[in-house]
Copies of this chain bind each other. A is one copy, B any other.
Amino acid sequence: MFELLAIDPQSKARRARLTTAHGIIETPVFMPVGTQGSVKAVSPRELREMQAQIILGNTYHLFVRPGMETMRHFGGLHRFMNWSGPILTDSGGYQIFSLAKLRKITEEGVRFQNHLDGTPTFISPEMAMEIQASLGSDIAMVLDECPPYPCTHEYMAQSLERTARWAARCRAAASAPSQLVFGIVQGGSFADLRRASAEATVAIGFDGYAIGGVSVGEPEAEMMQAVEASEPFLPNDKPRYCMGLGTPPQLLELIARGVDMFDCVLPTRLARNGTAFTARGTLNLKNAEFALDKGPIKEDCVCPACSDFSRGYIRHLVKAEEILGLRLITLHNLHFYLELMRKARSAIAEGTFHEFRKTFVAGYAERLPNDNSETA
């Protein structure tokens, strides 16, 4: 199911291959975020053309709208949205804790009112798995509590224990045929709790392990430390997924720390604000300096935006609020992230990852705040 192909001699970076019901995923991999059954502004055909290997669907959003009756009627998320490649679904926990109202956590599960119309709802670990089984995703995530940042050691420790009990219930619950199930390590910025959470989660036994509770407002250094405090206690022969991250340099730094899978809304969300990724950092294409610029967003880029359109034209589209503008920047940004992962995979396979990472991170000029929900 998960085959390690190469390991970087100078870091923990891994080149591997993950087999799912809808296809093989070469890792490290970036997963474009399709919150509501659509990677924002992008068609499935465009995702195929940019060689996206797997996309993410947000269980909470799909549960709220169109709802599970509709999803079952259409035979799951793949058929509903016409995407035949692999899909990972989150459990909905993160959105319940960041978007929903009037939350009340009990041992049994979470009561909340959804953010759209306030309908009172209850979700248990078993229900989170049942919902993901209905969605038919290739990889399902356990229901966890993601405490906000900052959080006391005492609360985090109690939360972890419940999250571990919930994880065991998720593991025992029915999942869809061939569906992989990933556990989630929490623990915030506390190294002892990261270790405890990782060990408890691994003891249950999952097909892969996510590092959650990162990119929730903490400084980047703390985030890296949280990953470093979790990773040693995760098995080498299972994929590791860092949820909701990150900037391009962060992705390379996390790969160097042994992470295989990523999802992040930055490329799609920033695109809708006119911001494009390049190897030197981001460009705000609204800036007047680009008005007469005949060059592409990024020299040597082969994405549909850079192949056919100038910075000046795209700037005009963004300023004029034309949808094609954000479409083109979205395509470029996703292509940039996917290409970064392709280069990382090659570099690991060729033993040049250390140099590649050092050069890229040094050349990249800025860091941006993160947020791991497309509509949060």
List residues of A whose CB falls within 8 A of some B CB.
36-38, 40-45, 61, 65-66, 70, 73-74, 80-82, 291-292, 294, 304, 308-310, 312-313, 316-317, 319-320, 322-328
Contact = CB atoms under 8 A, between A and B. Distances in A.
A70 B291 CA distance: 7
A374 to B, nearest CB: 10
A37 B316 contact: yes
B43 A327 contact: yes
Given A65-B316, A66-B291, A292-B70, A40 B82 contact: no
A36 B325 CA distance: 12
A324 B74 contact: no
A325 to B, nearest CB: 8
Contacts of A328: 43
B38 A308 contact: no
Contacts of A323: 38, 40-41, 323, 326-327
B319 A65 contact: yes
A322 B38 contact: yes
Given A43-B327, A323-B327, A313 B74 contact: yes
A74 B312 CA distance: 9
A148 B118 CA distance: 47
Contact of A322 (B36, B44, B74, B319): B36
B313 A36 contact: no
Most chain B C-beta atoms within 10 Å of own C-beta, residue among A45, A82, A325, A328: A82
A313 to B, nearest CB: 6
A73 B304 CA distance: 23
Contacts of A66: 291, 312, 316, 319
A313 B80 contact: yes
B324 A38 contact: yes
Nearest to A316: B66
Nearest to A39: B324
B81 A313 contact: yes
Nearest to A44: B308
Contact of A312 (B70, B310, B320): B70
A317 B34 CA distance: 12
Contacts of A316: 36-37, 65-66, 70, 80
A41 B324 contact: yes
A48 to B, nearest CB: 11
A52 B4 CA distance: 49
15 contacts: A37-B322, A40-B323, A41-B324, A42-B324, A43-B328, A45-B308, A61-B320, A70-B291, A73-B312, A74-B312, A80-B312, A81-B313, A82-B309, A323-B323, A327-B327
A311 to B, nearest CB: 11
Nearest to A324: B38
